[in-house]
Structure 1
Amino acid sequence: MSAQNIYDDPEFLAGYVTLDRQVHGLDGAGEWPTMRSMLPEMAGRRVVDLGCGFGWFSRWAHEHEAASVLGVDVSKKMLERARSGTASATVEYQCADLDLLDLEPGSADVVFSSLTLHYVHDLNRLMAMIAEALTPGGSVVFSVEHPIYSAPTTQNFETSEDGDRVWPLDNYLVEGERVTNWFVDGIVKEHRTVATYVNTLIESGLVLDRIDEFGPTAEAVEARPELADDRHRPWFLLLGATKPN
């Protein structure tokens, strides 16, 4: 099954480019400092960026002396912008569906993915391929929409009779497609439990190093009170793992 390519939809893209993380790059992604702390040093490493989008991480890896960077995305429009903003012969971009992508065994030292794997239909196949592509001691670090966020039938806060703000969690254990509205109708994502993400890593032969459930800190809410609701549930699930030597 091929992935949905919503990112080439002009209406969707017009909204997507207004996000802080697309305007300011990695500096606009609140979870980036945590993800960076999960990554090894880039110097001399062959890096793969799955769902590279506009190429923010691919360029960062190059700037931190990666030996080579392969950015992969299904969106031709996003890759056009990634290429136009990248001036390096060691950074290559490839248009490919992650459900069909094959990397050569032993071809990568670091695999990175930001908020992309919840679009992948066959996570088992992809993770097994990543594990095969990594060299011994290699690392994979990725983020996905947190399952507590993705599970509900209606992904909106509600107000209880007592006036409390509530995230209405339902269908958590019912894995599969979720169709939502995000700039346009009909965005298709795959909901999986935290256990599924963790066990898929383990079953592929990788060793889990770190797990983080990312959301705004109390300090962030103090600076931006509009984030108060988001202390009720995490935004993203961050995972890091290593291929054994």
Structure 2
Amino acid sequence: MAQNIYDDPQFLAGYSQFPRSRDGLEATSEWPALRALLPEITGKHVVDLGCGFGQLSRWLGEQGAATVLGIDLSEKMLARAMAETRIPVVTYRRANLDELVLEPLSADLVVSSMALHYVEDFGRIAEMLFATLAPGGHLVFSVEHPIYAARAEPEWVTAADGRQAFAIADYLIEGRRVTNWIVDGIVKFHRTIGTMLNLLTRAGFVYAAVDEWKPSDEQFAAHPEWRATELTRPMFLLMSLTKPA
């Protein structure tokens, strides 16, 4: 059974204080990059994997989606999502992504924001999502960048020239990783970019775009301190793929 850390009261309390939790998509640093990868939403049947508090699901509904199904393992996050949703086309379902099976050919677009690095069997979910999408459908997702996921301790070290460098460890050792973030013992699954792309294309997807996120000029202007870190290592990885028509 997947770890349901988002229902842990201490974790949820800490996570709820982040700007992305309090203020929605516009306070989510990688949101402009993810939005740029999305196709036209109007009239599409959409699945939002790891929907959390439902911000992305509601945005998709506001953009004219025919239906939006938000899926998450956390009962507490889904309860807030349902309480804050007033758009009839948006519904929610509790499910474990490691076991999830969706109706074949039932979606035109599958999106996922920062959830698939919690999935143990990436090949299984890639094949299931390919079957779920109608021909010509799109898969767009973001995950923790594998370089960031392989960070060493300490993650910042001083290089010979005096600059701060980002330290990684065991990048090519894939599988279960336990990290401490808000609370101790967070379970994620590390895999390389190559592994993800190979599993997705093996399932039948056609690669469209990859974005190893960095802040925009506007974001650097608002957060000048980011230049010391966000140009040294990527924190997010975004991918867009299609199912052949």
Measured against the shorter chain, the TM-score band is over 0.9
Verify: 1:206 aligned to 2:205, yes or no.
yes
Kept after mapping to 1: 8 A contact 2:19/2:28: yes
5+ unaligned residues in a row in structure 1: which ranges? none
The residue aligned with 1:90 is 89
Secondary structure at the aligned position of 2:168 is classed as coil
The residue aligned with 2:54 is 55
With the length of structure 2 as denominator, give the TM-score of the two structures.
0.96
Q: CA deviation at 1:87?
A: 1.4
AA in 1 matched with 2:234: P
Q: Following the alignment from structure 2 to structure 1, what is the Cα–Cα distance between the partners of residues 217 and 170?
A: 28
The residue aligned with 1:241 is 241
Q: Following the alignment from structure 1 to structure 2, what is the Cα–Cα distance between the partners of residues 26 and 84?
A: 17
The residue aligned with 1:169 is 168
Secondary structure at the aligned position of 1:174 is classed as coil
Q: Following the alignment from structure 1 to structure 2, what is the Cα–Cα distance between the partners of residues 139 and 107?
A: 12
Superposed CA deviations along residues 161-195 of structure 1, whole A, max 9, x for unmatched, are 54321111221110011111110000111111010
Tell me which stretches of 4 or more aligned residues in structure 1 moved more than 6 Å: none
- Within a 5 Å distance, the mapping from 1:162-201 to structure 2 comes to 162-201=161-200
Kept after mapping to 2: 8 A contact 1:147/1:191: yes
Superposed CA deviations along residues 113-153 of structure 1, whole A, max 9, x for unmatched, are 00000000011000100000000000000000001000134
With the length of structure 1 as denominator, give the TM-score of the two structures.
0.96
Q: CA deviation at 1:155?
A: 6.1
Secondary structure at the aligned position of 1:167 is classed as strand
Q: Which moved more, 1:139-148 or 1:159-168?
A: 159-168
Q: Which moved more, 1:220-229 or 1:128-137?
A: 220-229
Q: CA deviation at 1:218?
A: 5.7
Change (3 A) 1:229 1:109: same
- Within a 5 Å distance, the mapping from 1:69-218 to structure 2 comes to 69-154=68-153, 156-160=155-159, 162-217=161-216
Q: Following the alignment from structure 1 to structure 2, what is the Cα–Cα distance between the partners of residues 21 and 98?
A: 22
AA in 1 matched with 2:24: G
Q: Following the alignment from structure 1 to structure 2, what is the Cα–Cα distance between the partners of residues 100 and 9?
A: 21
Kept after mapping to 2: 8 A contact 1:114/1:144: yes
AA in 2 matched with 1:238: L
Q: Following the alignment from structure 1 to structure 2, what is the Cα–Cα distance between the partners of residues 218 and 45?
A: 32
Q: What root-mean-square deviation, in Å, do the aligned CA atoms of Structure 1 and Structure 2 show?
A: 1.3
Secondary structure at the aligned position of 2:188 is classed as strand
Q: Following the alignment from structure 1 to structure 2, what is the Cα–Cα distance between the partners of residues 190 and 146?
A: 11
Kept after mapping to 2: 8 A contact 1:217/1:231: no
Change (3 A) 1:155 1:137: farther
The residue aligned with 2:232 is 232
Q: CA deviation at 1:53?
A: 0.2
AA in 2 matched with 1:241: L
Q: CA deviation at 1:222?
A: 4.6
Q: Which moved more, 1:189-198 or 1:217-226?
A: 217-226
Q: How many residues align?
A: 244
Q: Percent identity?
A: 52
The residue aligned with 2:43 is 44
